[in-house]
A and B are shown apart, each in its own frame.
Chain A
């Protein structure tokens, strides 16, 4: 039971942050697509900016890792 809860906790940590990242990237991506139509020379910066929100899912991954290292009570 506890092992299952740990797994669900880890899944929530990664899942929610992945959704947050995806949402942010969609907003940034749409804005940058508009910006690129005006200024194609911004292509390089666009890639970097789109990668920025990935920190959220990375931190989610770290939390999930910390959760999975918890040991269920014997």
Chain B
């Protein structure tokens, strides 16, 4: 249901503005209204509040502090011990009592303690990353280079050549001999399956010519860090290897020191981040407020049941110098009142639909309860299988456990897991009605199928017009009993009529409550059209005795319904009423999707039985398990989407009004 809201005005002495703002942010129940956008004589004399230079300077200092604080936080790993909310709260309170200068001094001290270490750690990481690029080369070249000794007049170049181009080395050697007058040596060796390493040694005076030749021939030379480029290969590689080995212990030591700092400071830094973000947020809200010569005025909405408590608190805390008044909202203001939802635990998870559409408009009925009833009902009707239901419940708890373990704040997945659990419970109940457990596994087990594979009804509840019994278990694949097939289709259409009808009744009531005559007539028209159709078609199928009267009456009612919807909602309304018939037939998907699911489950069992004859039991089980897994995956996806669609498209489009203002109280959000 929607939380009843009250429009409130808070008036107080200007000297108390910031303490009041801090109190309101702590309470976190006031949805602020922008006073500059308010019209009418009540607000005509008020001057909008503006950020004065002192406030601007404060904001800039706060932003600077936040940036520096975040920079330190991002470099520290969270401590291993779990951080409790109460610890953060305690530190937050400490900051509330400190001046900005004190906080600045603290951040400076933190920076001093961490800056050098962080810089050193970053340098080491960069160096490690740079040297790690040489590691594969070192591995390949070093064994060869270590066997070669060079004098100060000689220099060397290393090459890596792919196995398939190894003959190139002969050509390079011949050319090198030409350039250096045979004063050179070429050592080569195969270093792995695909690579040959070669080191060319030659007098330093030929260096330029050799390098030019290699560049012209596009030969891939091994390049070393610039500071080592002048050194012979064996020395350079040795130095790289040594440095590469030295860094990890140094890095571990620095990280250890930073972890120590993190243990000491992390909670403080987190609390400071929240405190600074909240203070910036409160300064950002200032242009929404109004003022006169000596007082400030804050206007907003809060849940009606919190008004009295807040009024008393402000009165006591500020000794009557701040007053909260509940004021009557105008019709226009009510049109834009914020929407907040408060639903019981079994309805709450279904609020996830408001991640797809906006929540309901203030003053209208919150239809979440309708989704909470019909989503599981429709889901269960489609995926009525006890085995699948148990698997889905298990999976949902696994999702919840994993989210909890990871400390995930993903509202969507939490809600989705809860919705799946409720939907799976419904699936289990329908599974009991159909007696389906991983398809027809139980029926096969109990031998409740006749020679032709048709289900034997154990509890006869009635007989179809062609004299066939029906009852429990209820057969979904009613090949032998077309009347039952028809009955189930009528049941799904009836569920659809009930679903859409409930929504239309809500729309009608909302229209009457808001004294919106046209809206009420439009919804009444849809409802009349729907009832007319039910009467006409119902008498054709079920109550044949009254057919001669019911069919014309139903059709007349349907036409009158279209007329009423047209009157209430214009051409679109009339068209929408006529399309209601299509919406109603759309519920046939419940049967179609269900049928596909049960047939796939039975195919899984049949294939499992075929493959798993005799000694091949395990193979049969694997085949059946694979197909059932696929069916469960489809069984979660398809019924969820179809059920959602029936709620949002078939039902909601007939009555639902979305809000453009969601209740967002001014509160401590900690930068979230």
Which residues of chain A are within 8 angstroms of B641 by Cβ–Cβ distance? 47-48, 51
The answer on a CB contact under 8 Å between A69 and B486 is yes
Please judge, given known A-B contacts A44-B356, A59-B582, whether A54 and B485 are in contact too, CB under 8 Å.
no
Interface residues of A toward B: which range? Answer: 10 to 19
A65→B489 contact, CB < 8 A: yes
Which residue of chain A is the closest to B483 with respect to CB atoms? A69
Closest chain A CB from B579 CB (angstroms): 11
Interface residues of B in 631-649 (CB under 8 A from A): 641-642, 644-645, 648-649
Contact of A51 among B355, B485, B585, B642 (CB under 8 A): B642
Q: Tell whether A62 pairs with B644 under 8 Å between CB atoms, given A48-B356, A69-B482.
A: no
Of A44, A45, A47, which is in contact with the most chain B CB atoms at under 10 Å from its CB? A44
Chain A residues with Cβ below 8 Å from B486 are 69
Q: What residues of chain B lie closer than 8 Å to A26, measured between beta carbons?
A: none
- Complex CA distance for A61 and B485, rounded to whole angstroms: 13
The residue on B at minimum CB distance from A46 is B356
B586 at the A interface (CB under 8 A): yes
Cβ–Cβ contact B649 & A48, under 8 A: yes
Q: Once the chains are docked, how many angstroms separate the CA of A48 from the CA of B643?
A: 10
CB distance from B1 to the nearest CB of A (A): 23
| Distance, CA A63 to CA B482, complexed state (A) | 15
Q: In the complex, which residues of chain A have a beta carbon less than 8 angstroms from the beta carbon of B649?
A: 48, 52
Contact of A58 with B644 in the complex, beta carbons under 8 Å: no
Chain B residues contacting A69 (CB-CB under 8 Å) are: 482, 485-486
Check if B644 sits within 8 Å of A54, measured CB to CB. no
**Residues 592-606 (chain B) with a chain A CB within 8 angstroms:** 592
Instruction: Compute how far the CA of A51 lies from the CA of B641 in the bound complex, rounded to whole angstroms.
Output: 7
Q: How far is the CA of A51 from the CA of B644 in the complex (A)?
A: 10
Name A15-73 residues within 8 Å CB distance of B: 44-45, 47-48, 51-52, 54-55, 57-59, 61-62, 65, 68-69
By a CB distance below 8 angstroms, the chain A residues around B585 are 58-59, 62
SS class, residues of chain A in contact with chain B: helix
Given the known inter-chain contacts A48-B648, A48-B649, A51-B645, please indicate yes or no for A65 contacting B485, CB distance below 8 A: yes
Q: Which residues of B contact A47 (CB under 8 A)?
A: 641, 644
Could you write out 10 A-B pairs with CB less than 8 Å apart? A45-B356, A47-B644, A48-B641, A48-B649, A52-B649, A55-B586, A59-B585, A59-B588, A62-B588, A68-B482
The complex places the Cα of A37 from the Cα of B489 at a distance, in Å, of 40
Contact of B476 with A by CB under 8 A:
no
Please give, as numbers and ranges, the residues of chain B lying within 8 Å of A61 by CB-CB distance: 588-589, 592
Chain B residues, CB < 8 A from A65? 485, 489, 588
Chain A residues with Cβ below 8 Å from B648 are 48
Q: List 5 additional contacts besides A51-B642, A62-B585; criterion CB under 8 Å.
A: A44-B355, A55-B582, A58-B589, A59-B586, A61-B592
Q: How far is the CA of A69 from the CA of B465 in the complex (A)?
A: 14
Chain A contacts for B644, CB-based, 8 A: 47-48, 51
Distance between Cα atoms of A68 and B485 in the complex (Å): 11
Q: B residues within 8 A CB of A55? A: 582, 586, 589
Q: Quick check: A58 and B588 within 8 Å, CB to CB?
A: yes
B-side interface residues, number (CB < 8 Å): 18
Contact B586 A58 (CB under 8 A): yes
Interface of B is mostly: helix
Interface residues of B in 465-488 (CB under 8 A from A): 482, 485-486
A59's closest neighbor in chain B, by CB? B585
User: Are B356 and A54 in contact, with the CB atoms below 8 A?
Assistant: no
A58 proximity list for chain B (CB < 8 A):
585-586, 588-589, 592
CA distance A72 to B40 in the complex (A): 76
Q: Which chain B residues border A45 with CB–CB below 8 Å?
A: 356
Give A68 to B592 CA distance when docked, in angstroms.
Answer: 15
**Which residue on B lies nearest to A65, using beta carbons?**
B489
- Most chain B CB within 10 A, of A45, A57, A65, is at A65
B114 CB → nearest A CB, Å: 35
Nearest CB in chain A: distance from B636 CB, A: 13
Closest beta carbon of chain A to B486's beta carbon, Å: 7
> Nearest-CB distance from A46 to chain B (Å)?
10
Contacts of B592 in A (CB 8 A): 57-58, 61
Contacts of A68 in B (CB 8 A): 482
Chain A contacts for B355, CB-based, 8 A: 44
Complex interface: chain A residues within 8 A of B589 (CB): 54-55, 58, 61
Q: CB-CB contacts of B580-622 with A at 8 A, as 1s and 0s? A: 0010011011001000000000000000000000000000000
Complex contacts, A51 vs chain B, CB 8 Å: 641-642, 644-645
Which B residues, 542 to 594, have Cβ-Cβ distances below 8 Å to chain A? Answer: 582, 585-586, 588-589, 592
Contact residues in A for B489 (Cβ distance below 8 Å)? 62, 65
Residue of A nearest to B590 (CB): A58
**CB of A20, distance to nearest CB on chain B (Å):** 15
- For A14, the closest partner residue in chain B by CB is B592
A65 vs B486: C-alpha distance in the bound complex, in angstroms? 8
Complex alpha-carbon distance, A52 and B645, angstroms: 8
For the complex, what is the distance from the CA of A35 to the CA of B466, rounded to whole Å?
53
In the assembled complex, how far is the CB of residue A67 from the closest CB belonging to chain B, in whole angstroms? 12
Task: Give B354's nearest chain A residue, CB to CB.
Answer: A44
With both beta carbons as reference points, the residue of chain B lying nearest to A62 in the complex is identified as B588
Distance in Å: Cβ of B106 to nearest Cβ of chain A: 38
User: A71 to B205, alpha carbons, bound, how many Å?
Assistant: 103
Residue of A nearest to B646 (CB): A51
Task: Tell me, in angstroms, the Cα distance from A64 to B641 when the chains sit together.
Answer: 23
B644 to chain A, nearest CB (A): 7
Distance (whole angstroms) from the CB of B278 to the closest CB of chain A: 25
B181 → chain A closest CB, angstroms = 64
Please, which residue of chain A has its CB at the minimum distance from the CB of B647?
A48
Complexed CA–CA distance, A34 and B404 (Å): 33
Inside 8 A of B485's CB, which chain A residues have their CB?
A: 65, 69
B285 to chain A minimum Cβ distance, whole angstroms, is 25
Tell me the bound Cα distance from A47 to B645 in angstroms.
Answer: 9
Minimum CB distance partner of A41 in chain B: B355
A5 CB, nearest partner CB in chain B, Å = 18
